[in-house]
Amino acid sequence: MAAPSPLPRFLILLLAVTSSAFAAAAATGAPVVGEDYVRPPPARCHRKALLSLFPWSKKEESAASSDPQQVHISLAGEKHMRITWVTNDNSVPSVVDYGTKESTYTMKSQGESTSYSYLLYSSGKIHHVVIGPLEDNTIYYYRCGGQGPEFQFKTPPSQFPLSLAVVGDLGQTSWTTSTLNHIKQCEHDMLLLPGDLSYADYMQHLWDSFGTLVEPLASNRPWMVTEGNHEKEHIPFFESGFQSYNARWKMPYEESGSRSNLYYSFEVAGAHIIMLGSYTDYDDSSDQYAWLKADLAKVDRKRTPWLIVLLHVPWYNSNWAHQGEGDSMMASMEPLLYAAHVDMVIAGHVHAYERAERVYNSRPDPCGAVHITIGDGGNREGLARRYRNPKPAWSVFREASFGHGELKIVNSTHAHWTWHRNDDEEPVRTDDVWINSLAGSGCIQEGSRDRESRKILMSP
């Protein structure tokens, strides 16, 4: 190749990457002054990742470069599923063959593909194929790109009961592996992830290894995710941010009227689920705010009695880690969620578990949302162990352990929430509570309070 040597530019880039990586670490991991919570240093795999930035380090090649890798699925509007996978071979077509009998494909869909470059890294071909209409609660067998192994998934039910697995700040450590094993053991229709997926942190091949790690689960049940700070990967003057996340984890934002992959909503059985973006604009003049207001105004609690919001940075957090980081988003958006009678708000970011009772405006409120922080999937940064004392009035349960949550929505009024600790080899059910939906409460009524709520959501 006659191209000029990339080395000088490469050194500048390397400097930019490492300095912004350290800046990011300092911004997110800094202990609050006077407190002794300090995150453990990154695990050894990180050094290997740094080395892989060098152009002469060899990329891992799969057995056949046309075989599908990193297969995962996500809901794509009513009765449709998006199948996403990566191939090293560019000539593989973006088609999915599928059917309800093993090795018998009666249907075929054509999709699209994308790829991206990040510094010296070039991604494989990333395929996105939407298939459907699909039957509810049905097992489908599928094949990606016309070749390679057969995968299967089950579509969610159209009615309660609905089982949701919930995990945040996942990463790819041995803690992650045990969390994923525990999730595999639990019956679930779908997985929800409120941000911080791969912890690639600029090392793009770690997005590939994350895709490989989660494939057994994510090719089998829809994974619905939103972004965290570790998805940003913004480098001033060089990289605009979210390239990898947006290319690889395409969510149904167009289907929900959003103009950004960073926030969207979807419906499953009788639940309306909103994924917000903590790392994009949220003030009352932002696109996200306008979209959220319109989306909330459309919710019909007769059709979807459960209304659940996920985002990365918690609004109710009594851990010293990331204290106050959610305050400005909460000031902007909490009144909208309250007016719409949101049942639950699930966040990540803080590497520990905390459950708050129904709360609004920092005070316990029977018509507010149950807030849960579940950023304890098992990433390499370790746990956030220091809590503020005394415990705030709204905080019910808090513990710094790795684990995952399960939300079993039994019917229009009752859901059972459990949190499973995995410090031990076995998942241990540690927190356990019945949640009653606001749809079945006195909070939503044709009355003056509800007229006020409608006014807030309908105002221009």
- For ligand NAG, the binding residues (CB under 6 A) are 410-411, 413-414
Identify whether 351 is a catalytic site residue. Answer: no
State the minimum distance, in angstroms, from the CB of residue 68 to ligand NAG. 41
400 and 332 Cβ atoms separated by less than 8 Å: no
Cα–Cα distance, 218 to 266 (Å, whole number): 18
Cα–Cα distance, 1 to 29 (Å, whole number): 43
Query: Three-state SS string across 236-287, please?
Result: CCCECCCHHHHHHCCCCCHHHCCCCCCCEEEEECCEEEEECCCCCCCCCCCH
Q: Kindly give the pairing relationship between strand 414-421 and strand 190-193.
A: unpaired
Residue 228 engages Fe ion in binding (rule: CB under 5 A): yes
Which of Fe ion, ligand NAG, none lies near 413, with the C-beta cut-off 5 to 8 A by kind? ligand NAG
Which is nearer to ligand NAG, 323 or 411 (by Cβ)? 411
Residue 373 engages Fe ion in binding (rule: CB under 5 A): no
Which residues are CB-contacts of 23 (< 8 A; sequence separation ≥ 6)? none
Give me the 144-183 binding string for Fe ion, x by CB under 5 A, dash otherwise: ----------------------------------------
State the minimum distance, in angstroms, from the CB of residue 325 to Fe ion. 9
State the minimum distance, in angstroms, from the CB of residue 230 to Fe ion. 6
Which is nearer to ligand NAG, 114 or 411 (by Cβ)? 411
Which is nearer to ligand NAG, 205 or 414 (by Cβ)? 414
Angle between helices 205-218 and 174-185 (to 10 degrees): 20
Which is nearer to ligand NAG, 66 or 413 (by Cβ)? 413
Site residues (CB under 5 A) for Fe ion, limited to 294-353: 349
State the minimum distance, in angstroms, from the CB of residue 411 to ligand NAG. 4
Residue 196 engages Fe ion in binding (rule: CB under 5 A): yes
Closest CA to 69 of 56, 88, 82, 48: 88
406 and 163 Cβ atoms separated by less than 8 Å: yes
Residue 376 engages Fe ion in binding (rule: CB under 5 A): no
403 and 430 Cβ atoms separated by less than 8 Å: yes
State the minimum distance, in angstroms, from the CB of residue 169 to Fe ion. 6
278 and 329 Cβ atoms separated by less than 8 Å: yes
Please pick, among 127, 182, 322, 351, the residue that the annotation labels catalytic.
322
Two tokens, residue 288: 């996200």
Residue 229 engages Fe ion in binding (rule: CB under 5 A): yes
Binding site for Fe ion (CB under 5 A): 196, 228-229, 349
Active site residues: 322
